[in-house]
Amino acid sequence: MTFYKDAKGLTLGVPYHGEEPFTLKNALCEVAADYKKKKHVFKLRLSNGNEWLFHGKDEDEMHTWLQGLSTAIIESQSIKAKAQSLPLPSITTVDTSLAKKEKEKRFIFFPKKK
């Protein structure tokens, strides 16, 4: 599993903070019932003892992540040597009019003269 800051980082293949990818083989993913600071927190414990906490925006998102990670962990048990990754989300065409409006909002500081 590898983390990227954004889509650009993914495209360039630059992991977030230069972190090395880690394996999900023999990992454990579960709700962090003992974590009290925030709701919808789950943890991923790796086979090397490292533990990662993740925060979902709501219970549904948390369970979606738990299900996806659990599936990836199960699949990693059957993988011998070849690395696997989750599929990339499908990218549809971008609405250029929306992008143009956003660009105008960012770069126009004074009202246009008519």
Structural domains in the chain? 7-87 (2.30.29.30)
What pLDDT tens digit does each residue of the chain (114 aa) get? 888 889 998 898 888 888 888 888 889 999 998 889 999 999 999 988 889 899 999 999 999 999 999 998 888 887 654 555 666 655 554 455 555 555 555 544 555 555
Count of positions (residues) in the chain: 114
3-state SS class at 81: coil
- pTM more than 0.85: no
Does residue 84 contact residue 76 with C-beta atoms inside 8 Å? yes
